[in-house]
Every structure is written in structure tokens, then in C-alpha cells.
Amino acid sequence: MCLAIPGKILKIKGQIAKVDFNGIQKEINITMVNAKIGDYIMVHAGFAIEKMDLDRVKDIQNYLNT
């Protein structure tokens, strides 16, 4: 189930990061990404699968506006 939930990294301890999802905080395994505090990550079944490219978020908006 590809629930698309992006969250912001608040703290990192080893492979585990404390991630904020709009006010709800959860521990997420970040083994599969090179992430640092402040990054937005996409989470799938408890694991970060990729960092969000915030500049690209605007792309979709631009496309819709053309």
C-alpha cells in the first residue's frame, strides 16, 4: 500500500530518525536514504524510501498552471 506520507526529520540517532508528520511524531528507519535533520522524507511501511525534492513540488503546480 503506497501511502504517501511525507515527514520532516527532527532528530537522528543511528539508523532511526524522529520524524514529524504534521504534528504527529514517529520513529522511522532511515537506512535507505542519506538524510539529515530538517530534510523531508517519504515514508513507506516504517522506512524512509526517498528524500522529497521541495523545489520539484513546485513543478506540479507549474504544470497545472500552464
Partner 1 sequence: MKTEIKKLLKSIQIKAQKIGRPLRLMELCGTHSQTIAQNGIKSLMPDNIRLVSGPGCPVCVTAQKDIDIMVGLALAGIPVAVYGDAVQVPGNLMSLEEAGRKGAEVYIVYDITEAVKIAQKKPQLVFFGLGFETTTGMTAWAIKQGLMVYSAHKLFPPAMKALLANKKIKVDGFIDPGHVSVIIGVDVYCQFPIPQVVAGFEGKDVLIAIEKLLTQILNKERKVENAYQRLVKKEGNLKAQKLIQEVFKVADADWRGLGKIKKSGLKIRSKYQQQDAEVVHKKLIQKIKKEIKIKPSACQCGLVLQGLVEAKQCPLFGRSCTPDNPQGACMVSVEGSCNVEFRYVQNNK
- Based on the shown chain and the rule CB under 8 A, indicate whether residue 59 belongs to the binding site for partner 1: yes
Round the CA-based radius of gyration of the chain to a whole number and report it.
Answer: 13
Between 20 and 29, CB nearer to partner 1:
29
Reported in sequence order, the residue ranges of the chain that DSSP labels E, i.e. its strands, are 5-13, 16-21, 24-29, 40-44, 47-51
- Based on the shown chain and the rule CB under 8 A, indicate whether residue 18 belongs to the binding site for partner 1: no
- Based on the shown chain and the rule CB under 8 A, indicate whether residue 64 belongs to the binding site for partner 1: yes
- Greatest alpha-carbon pair distance for the chain in Å reads 44
Phi, psi of 63 (to 5 degrees): -65, -40
- Based on the shown chain and the rule CB under 8 A, indicate whether residue 25 belongs to the binding site for partner 1: no
Residues that bind partner 1 (CB under 8 A): 1-4, 29, 31-34, 42, 44-47, 49-50, 52-54, 56-57, 59-60, 63-65
